[in-house]
């Protein structure tokens, strides 16, 4: 540490003390007793016109980054400590005695403390970024834990403990902090690091759901005349997966959903296991959420007499276990979706036999999901109920079916799946929980989250 003259202005003293590890903007109002600790390989950026009041401390531990935007106000006796990264967006405000810790001790388990050493740091630390978006305000004595993102313009009430992410334009309070109401927020600068969730789908044509496409057919100002002909220009994926993607984007407009639909028409579990393997071999990204569903073609092929393509129940269970094991290593949450039943494609007796067999496959899927920590979404009962009740409607009512051909689904069938999936996601609060950044072992957190904050730090010697 370099010794500095006590009569230097605070900004000059800090620049001399920390050198290139500190980037300090213009016209900042900093107290004489501000404590800044920057470990080797760490970096602190403070923007222009930042105000920090007396008694505050900023710790940036080894390799971590703290980035404070322009026009940020930080109150008295505030404590900011980072092992992964903390960012305060432009115009954000922290009132007095706010505490931001992006890390915590890991549990003192035999896995983490192999030597039995009885010191507080023996178990190591886990960390995840704290992101406070532009215009957010944290009132007195608010504590924020690692992995939390607080949205633009959010207002967090005094004494709250923010352990889960808060949406933009939200008033939150309590322990743990929860949304009390939402409001029409003021405009904020473009947020160039929006929260992104990657969602994968692996399944059959029920997930793939191809639809013929022609540009003119969807141009309301230039629709083709009745009786005219148009050319199929390509295929789009539609169905319940497409509609769920739209629903997610509408419900969480401040989140980017990166949807990857790997559904394939006619695929058995044998085929889908190959798709999962190829995807995990070729792609380095992780999934936040995965939907996995198959089995209908495994059963159907046997009843079609295509025995070389049919997949028996034991092989099917093996494929499900293998796929779940692969996906578990690179996915935060997996939802196994049951297959929908067969409709009237054969003689009633044959359809009943097919569905009885398909039930066994769904039961095997539910068992595999439980063994691998995945959730199981059973759409069979609501789907059969909708099909039965629609079939019993009087002839004067508009005819409708959940199937287009006894296997593939109509828009109505897709809507049943959509509603069940939306209800399931809401019941388990899956998306809300995925908005938190996962807390990882300290060095792993630096590796994974470092690129998020790289734009706010120069190269550190």
pLDDT of residue 4: 52
pLDDT of residue 333: 98
* Residue where the block lists tokens 């470092």: 450
Q: How many domains does the chain have?
A: 2
- Tens of pLDDT along 256-265? 999 999 999 9
CB atoms within 10 A of CB 368: 23
Whether omega before 176 lies within 30 degrees of 0, making that bond cis, reads: yes
Please provide residue 427's backbone torsions phi and psi, each rounded to the nearest 5 degrees: -60, -40
User: Are residues 255 and 244 both part of a single domain?
Assistant: yes
Residue 435 resides in a domain = no
For 37-61, give one letter per residue: b (16+ CB within 10 A) or e. Answer: ebeeebbbbbbebbebbebbebbbb
pLDDT of residue 213: 65
Residue 458 resides in a domain = no
Burial of 67: CB neighbours in 10 Å, binned 0-12, 13-18, 19+: buried
For residues 237 and 261, the answer to whether their CB atoms sit within 8 Å is yes
Q: How far apart are CA 259 and CA 264, in angstroms?
A: 15
User: Are residues 227 and 320 both part of a single domain?
Assistant: yes
User: Are residues 132 and 276 both part of a single domain?
Assistant: no
Vertex 58: Cα angle to 169 and 71 (nearest 5): 45
User: Are residues 244 and 350 both part of a single domain?
Assistant: yes
CB atoms within 10 A of CB 257: 20
Strands 51-52 and 234-237: unpaired
Q: DSSP string covering 128-170, please?
A: --EEE-TT-EE-TT-EE-TT-EE-TT-EE-TT-EE-S-B-SSE
- Return the CATH number at 159: 2.160.10.10
- For the CA atoms of 441, 257, 410, 223, the dihedral, rounded to the nearest 10 degrees, stands at -170
Both structure tokens of 392: 């019993």
Which residues in the chain show pLDDT less than 50? Answer: 1-3, 460-461
Which are the contacts of 202, defined by CB distance < 8 A and separation ≥ 6? 262, 263, 272, 275, 276, 279, 290, 291, 292, 293, 294, 323, 327
pLDDT of residue 2: 46
DSSP for residue 185: P
Residue 367 resides in a domain = yes
DSSP for residue 19: G
User: Are residues 110 and 169 both part of a single domain?
Assistant: yes
How far lies 355's CA from each of 202, 360, 417, in Å? 22, 9, 18
- Tens of pLDDT along 7-36? 788 999 999 999 999 999 999 999 999 999
Residue 35 resides in a domain = yes
User: Are residues 186 and 221 both part of a single domain?
Assistant: no
Residue 219 structural domain: 195-409
Both structure tokens of 47: 């923007």
pTM for the model stands at 0.91
User: Are residues 160 and 242 both part of a single domain?
Assistant: no
User: Are residues 169 and 240 both part of a single domain?
Assistant: no
Residue 5 resides in a domain = no
pLDDT of residue 41: 94
User: Are residues 58 and 142 both part of a single domain?
Assistant: yes
User: Are residues 279 and 209 both part of a single domain?
Assistant: yes
User: Are residues 284 and 393 both part of a single domain?
Assistant: yes
Residue 4 resides in a domain = no
- Return the CATH number at 298: 3.40.50.1110
Q: How far apart are CA 349 and CA 327, in angstroms?
A: 38
β-pair partners for 92: none
């Amino acid at each position: 540490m370099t010794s500095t003259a006590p009569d230097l202005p605070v900004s000059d003293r800090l620049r001399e003390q920390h050198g290139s590890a500190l980037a300090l903007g213009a016209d900042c109002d900093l107290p004489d007793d501000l404590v800044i600790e920057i470990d080797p390989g760490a970096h602190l950026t403070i923007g222009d016109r930042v105000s920090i009041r007396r008694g505050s401390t900023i710790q940036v531990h080894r390799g971590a980054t703290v980035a404070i935007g322009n026009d940020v106000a930080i109150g008295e006796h505030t404590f900011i400590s980072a092992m992964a990264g903390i960012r305060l967006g432009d115009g954000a405000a922290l009132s007095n005695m706010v505490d931001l810790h992006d890390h915590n001790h890991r549990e003192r388990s035999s896995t983490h403390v192999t030597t039995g050493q009885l010191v507080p740091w023996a178990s190591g630390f886990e960390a995840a970024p704290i992101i406070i978006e532009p215009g957010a305000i944290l009132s007195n004595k608010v504590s924020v834990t690692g992995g939390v993102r607080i949205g633009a313009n959010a207002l967090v009430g005094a004494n709250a403990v923010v352990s889960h992410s808060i949406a933009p334009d939200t008033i939150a309070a309590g322990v743990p902090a929860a949304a009390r109401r939402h409001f029409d927020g003021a405009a904020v600068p473009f947020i160039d690091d929006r929260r992104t969730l990657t969602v994968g789908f692996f399944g059959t044509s029920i997930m793939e759901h191809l639809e013929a496409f022609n540009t003119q057919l969807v141009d309301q100002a230039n629709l083709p005349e009745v009786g005219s002909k148009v050319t199929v220009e390509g295929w789009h994926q539609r169905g319940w997966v497409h509609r769920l993607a739209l629903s997610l984007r509408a419900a969480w407009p401040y989140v980017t959903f990166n949807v990857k639909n790997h559904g394939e028409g006619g695929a058995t579990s044998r085929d889908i296991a190959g798709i999962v393997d190829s995807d995990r071999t070729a792609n380095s990204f992780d999934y936040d959420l995965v939907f996995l569903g198959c089995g209908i073609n495994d059963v159907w092929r046997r009843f079609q007499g295509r025995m070389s393509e049919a997949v028996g129940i034991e092989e099917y269970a093996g494929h499900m276990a293998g796929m779940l094991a692969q996906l578990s290593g690179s996915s935060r949450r997996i939802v196994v979706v049951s297959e929908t039943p067969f409709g009237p494609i054969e003689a009633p007796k044959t359809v009943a036999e097919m569905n009885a067999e398909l039930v066994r496959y769904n039961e095997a899927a539910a068992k595999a999901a439980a063994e691998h920590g995945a959730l199981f979404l059973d759409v069979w009962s609501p789907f059969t109920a909708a099909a039965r009740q629609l079939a019993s409607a009087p002839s004067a009512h508009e005819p409708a079916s959940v199937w287009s051909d006894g296997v593939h689904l109509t828009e109505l069938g897709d809507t049943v799946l959509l509603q069940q999936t939306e209800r399931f996601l809401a019941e388990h609060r899956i998306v809300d929980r995925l908005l938190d950044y996962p807390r990882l072992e300290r060095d792993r957190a630096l590796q994974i989250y470092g690129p998020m904050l790289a734009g706010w730090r120069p190269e550190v010697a």
